[in-house]
């Protein structure tokens, strides 16, 4: 191989990694385009979408129970943000908020959402859905359903959170205009934290202590049988009489 050929091969080998990287970059950049094939054009949210989103988000956050007395937040609330919207759709955004609680190393999560695509199928008593499923989310910019769910292992914390859910208010939101952000914030500020019920600790089972002979009261001597104290007294009296007889 002559010098010219060696230089040519070196140039090809040197450029190969760059070409491979460029090819990978094209594939990676092409994936979002394929995934968003139904949303080629995006737009800013309309004023109506912004208002509905803000009102809805404030409403679901206000529906989250405050931290019970003695508990604490495990981390910050999980809430969505309103970004670019697809052309040709309306209200295609999530309205869901979750709060993470902890008490005595037991953890629970409460989630409240508006216009859920699917309704919960969790254990009865730990969730509820008011209104039908909303496949197009908030397309009509109205409340089609409200869903709440409480998860976590069975504990006094979970029970306290379930009891704090204002079911009547959440059900009453369906089909009605959302309250203003200020109204929801004022409602959240008035919420009273629940008190977690703590089971009384049973006293340790200890054996019944029998009274000792020294501490127990003397039982009356059976009829016809002198007690030990009477016997001692009789002995002392006899000794004294004998001393009197012998002049001592």
Average pLDDT per 10 consecutive residues for the chain, totaling 248 residues:
50 44 37 49 96 98 96 94 94 96 96 95 86 96 97 95 97 97 97 83 50 48 48 54 50
Strand pairing of 106-114 and 95-103?
A: antiparallel
pLDDT of residue 197: 82
All structural domains of the chain with their residue ranges: 47-190
Instruction: Determine the pLDDT at residue 90.
Output: 95
Rounded to an integer, what is the distance from CA 191 to the centroid of its chain? Answer: 17
Q: Measured on CA atoms in the order 46, 48, 54, 56, is the torsion positive or negative?
A: negative
Residue-level length of the chain? 248
Count of other CB atoms within 10 angstroms of residue 13 = 9
CA Rg value for the chain: 41
* Confidence at residue 26, expressed as pLDDT on a 0 to 100 scale: 35
Residue 230's nearest CA partner among 238, 34, 89 is 238
Residues 78 and 94 sit within 8 Å (Cβ to Cβ) = no
Is 190 in contact with 166 (CB distance < 8 Å)? no
Q: How far apart are CA 93 and CA 176, in angstroms?
A: 19
- Mapping DSSP onto H, E and C, the string for the chain reads CCHHHHHHHHHHHHHHHHHHHHHHHHHHHHHHHHHCHHHCCEECCCHHHHHHHHHHHHHHHHCCCCCCECCEECCCCECCCCCCEECCCCCCCCEEEEEEEEECCEEEEEEEEECCCCCCCCCCCCEEEECCCCCCCCCCCCCCCEEEEEEECCCHHHHHHHHHCCHHHHHHCCCCCCCCHHHHHHHHHHCCCCECCCCCCCCCCCCCCCCCCCCCCCCCCCCCCCCHHHHHHHHHHHHHHHHHHCCC
Q: What is the reported pLDDT for 123?
A: 72
The whole model's pTM is what?
Answer: 0.66
Give residue 28's pLDDT.
36
Instruction: Lay out the sheet containing 95-103: strands in order across.
Output: 72-73, 95-103, 106-114, 146-152, 127-130
- Nearest by Cα to 148 from 86, 209, 98, 199: 98
Instruction: Output the pLDDT for position 198.
Output: 75
pLDDT recorded at residue 186 = 97
What does the pLDDT read at residue 10?
55
């Amino acid at each position: 191989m002559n010098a010219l050929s060696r230089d040519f091969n070196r140039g090809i080998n040197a450029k190969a990694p760059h070409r491979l990287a460029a090819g990978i970059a094209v594939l990676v950049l092409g994936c979002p385009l394929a995934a968003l094939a139904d949303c080629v054009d995006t737009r800013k949210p309309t004023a109506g979408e912004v208002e509905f989103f803000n009102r809805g988000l404030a409403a679901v956050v206000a529906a989250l129970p405050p931290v019970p007395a003695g508990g604490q937040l495990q981390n910050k609330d999980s809430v969505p943000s309103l970004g670019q919207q697809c052309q040709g759709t309306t209200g295609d955004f999530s309205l869901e908020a979750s709060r993470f609680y902890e008490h005595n190393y037991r953890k629970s999560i409460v989630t409240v959402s508006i216009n859920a695509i699917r309704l919960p199928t969790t254990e009865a008593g730990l969730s509820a859905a008011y209104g039908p499923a909303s496949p197009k989310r908030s397309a009509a910019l109205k409340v089609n359903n409200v869903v709440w769910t409480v998860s976590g292992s069975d504990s006094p914390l979970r029970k306290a959170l379930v009891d704090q859910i204002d079911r009547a208010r959440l059900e009453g939101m369906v089909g009605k205009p959302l309250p203003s952000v200020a109204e929801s914030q004022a409602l959240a500020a008035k919420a009273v934290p629940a008190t977690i019920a703590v089971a009384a600790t049973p006293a340790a089972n200890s054996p019944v202590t029998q009274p000792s002979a020294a501490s127990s009261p003397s039982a009356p001597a059976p009829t016809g049988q002198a007690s030990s104290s009477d016997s001692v007294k009789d002995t002392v009296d006899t000794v004294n009489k004998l001393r009197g007889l012998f002049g001592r």
